[in-house]
Amino acid sequence: MGFLLMGFFRLTSDGSPPTEEEMGFARESPDARAREMTALVARARAGELGAIQQVFREHLPGVHRLVYRMVGPSPDLDDLVQTVFVEAFRSLPGFRGDALFSTWLSRIAVRVTMHAVRRRPPASVPIHGEQEIALEHPSAERRVAAREALALLERLLGEMRPKRRAAFVLHVLEGHPMEEVAAILNASTAAVKVRVHDARRHIERRLERDPALAESLMAGGRS
């Protein structure tokens, strides 16, 4: 099942291959870009409105994606994203740069969403009759298959325990190294590895028990 999972996880919402940034691999590194972000965050900490707005714009897509993957298509999604940034900017004076800003922000996003999940289980997506969409464009059928596959992944994620889902999302879908996931989740690296392994096994067992589900994912992965 490994080849199926890896191919499926690389789907984007429109069925096209994701960029490194969309997969979460293009994070800050010790280069000019990282130094630029460090300077920007420092200006935001000093209360410079323009810098705060730029930090928000820079990190909104990543935070929105992470929260969505943590809670699914919840009606509270936008409120949760807003809460993440409210808490982040309120706590910004205490940010000392001991970790990457993106790691620090992800930690806040996970804390906010985990609290929400404990109050209400994450949503999963029913599979709709996507075939009703007119397939006029040559790639429309592939896009439908990709959307169905993504909906199936959301269903499988919704079946997971919150901590297991968080570890899987951060490591497999967002691309964070195990050590970074451990820092975000305030857990040991060993515990994170177990959670990711258990999440993978959960998906694999579900696919083994449900051939139709596996076929749907394969169809999406081929698109």
Structural domains of the chain ordered from first start: 25-123 (1.10.1740.10), 128-223 (1.10.10.10)
- The pLDDT tens digits of the residues spanning 72-119 come to 888 889 999 999 999 999 999 888 887 889 889 999 999 999 888 776
- The pLDDT tens digits of the residues spanning 132-169 come to 333 344 466 556 556 666 777 788 888 888 899 999 99
> Which of 176, 154, 175 lies closest to 165 in space, CA to CA?
154
pLDDT for position 211: 65
* Statement: residue 11 has pLDDT above 50: no
Whole-number percent of the chain with pLDDT over 70:
66
- The pLDDT tens digits of the residues spanning 16-66 come to 334 444 444 444 445 677 788 889 999 999 999 999 999 999 999 999 999
Q: What is the pTM of this model?
A: 0.69
pLDDT for position 17: 39
